[in-house]
Amino acid sequence: MSLLTIILNILLPPLAVFLKHGLSGTFVISLILTALGWLPGVIHAFLVNGTK
């Protein structure tokens, strides 16, 4: 995982997920979790972007 991905995971979780997975269900889930609270969005982004 690159430094840019880590920074985006923390600051803008949906953008980080979008850059790796595009417009998919994962991106929509990231948007919803981030809207519900910043921390769930960050956790989801790290889980999704950390796996290959």
CA-CA-CA-CA torsion for 13, 10, 19, 31, nearest 10 degrees?
A: 0
What is the per-residue pLDDT for 47?
95
pLDDT at 52: 61
Query: Could you report the per-residue pLDDT of 5-51, keeping only the tens digit for each?
Result: 999 999 999 999 999 999 999 999 999 999 999 999 999 999 999 86
Could you tell me which residue, 52 or 6, shows the higher pLDDT?
A: 6
How many angstroms separate the CA atoms of 17 and 34, rounded? 11
Pull the structure tokens for residue 37.
């609270």
Torsional sign, CA 48, 27, 39, 36: negative
pLDDT of residue 2 exceeding 90, the answer is no
What's the predicted TM-score (pTM) here? 0.87
Q: What is the pLDDT of residue 34?
A: 96
